[in-house]
Amino acid sequence: MAGDIVVGYDGSDGSKAALRVAVSVARAFDAPLAVVFGYEVIPVGGETADYKKRVEAIGAAVVSEAVKAAGELDPAVKAEGLVVPERPVDSLLSVAKSRQARVIVVGGNGERPLMGVILGSVPHKLLHRSSIPVLVVPAPDGV
């Protein structure tokens, strides 16, 4: 498979907006859609196995919800959900690379600006690091 549309999805309003746009982009190109949930568990402080499993379970739930929503938006789009154990930015980049993706779609202001500065903003980092086009979708107003 090549030319996938990769969309970052974590269940936030920004990512929901991104999903809607990603579905129509996928439709326009007649390309498969990869819905990516990236997570990283801090290894400092000892073992993490069952904590990680819980996060994975949440990721799986969030992502299958997104795949279902994509199917409802446009039944013709083939959507696949992926839960990737890497930082969000890294997970988007590695999925994009392995699928030779056409474009990465992410939500714009999922984080409030100040939190974005402290926690790191996914679109900001992506714009600097991605070698393929990045489409940033602003979250709808009034949310």
Partner 1 sequence: MADTTAVAAGLPSESGAKGLKGGALGLLSTTVIGVASTAPAFSLAASLGLVTLAVGLHAPAIMLLAFAPMLFIAAAYFYLNRADPDCGTTFTWVTRAMGPNLGWLAGWGIVMTDLVVMPSLSQIAGKYTFLFFGADGVANGVFWVTVVGVVWIIIMTWICYVGIELSARTQVALLGAEIVILAGFALVALIKVYSGDTTGGLHPRAGWLNPFSIGSTSALASGVLTAVFIYWGWDTAVTVNEESKDSKRTPGIAALLSTLILVGIYVIVTVAAQAFHGADFLTKNSSDVLSALGKDVFGSPWNKLLILAVLTSASASTQTTILPAARSALSMAVHRAAPRKFADIHARYLTPGFATVFFGGLSIVWYVGLSLISKDVLGDSILALGFGIAFYYALTGYACVVYYRRHLFKSFKNLVLIGLAPLLGALGLTWAFLKSLFVYSNPANSTSTTTAWLKFIHFDFKIWHFRFFAKGFGPPLIMGVGLLILGVPLMLLWRAGRPEFFERGREVADTIDGPAPPLTPGVTVVVD
Number of H helices, E strands in the chain: 5, 5
When asked if residue 136 is in the footprint of partner 1 (CB under 8 A), the reply is: no
Residue 109: CB minimum distance to partner 1, A: 14
Minimum separation from the CB atom of position 116 to partner 1 (A): 12
**In this chain, which of 27, 61, 108, 116 binds partner 1, going by CB under 8 A?**
61
Q: Is 2 in the site for partner 1 (CB under 8 A)?
A: no
Contact by Cβ (8 Å): 17, 139: yes
The DSSP output letter for 87 is -
> Is the CB of 24 or the CB of 68 nearer to partner 1?
68
With CB under 8 A as the contact rule, the residue among 7, 18, 77, 136 that binds partner 1 is: 77
Structure-token pair, residue 92 = 């988007």
* Stretch of 21-29, 71-79, 101-109, 135-143 contacting partner 1, by CB under 8 A: 71-79
Buried b (16+ CB within 10 A) or exposed e, 59-76: beebbeebbebbeebeee
Determine if 45 is a binding residue for partner 1 (CB under 8 A). yes
Dihedral angle computed from the Cα positions of residues 129, 135, 141 and 143, in that order, rounded to the nearest 10 degrees: -60
Q: In this chain, which of 42, 113, 114, 142 binds partner 1, going by CB under 8 A?
A: 42
CA distance 18 to 23: 9
The one-letter code for the residue type at 124 is H
Q: Site residues (CB under 8 A) for partner 1?
A: 10-12, 39-58, 60-61, 63-64, 67-68, 70-71, 75-87, 90-91, 93-95, 97-98, 115, 118-119
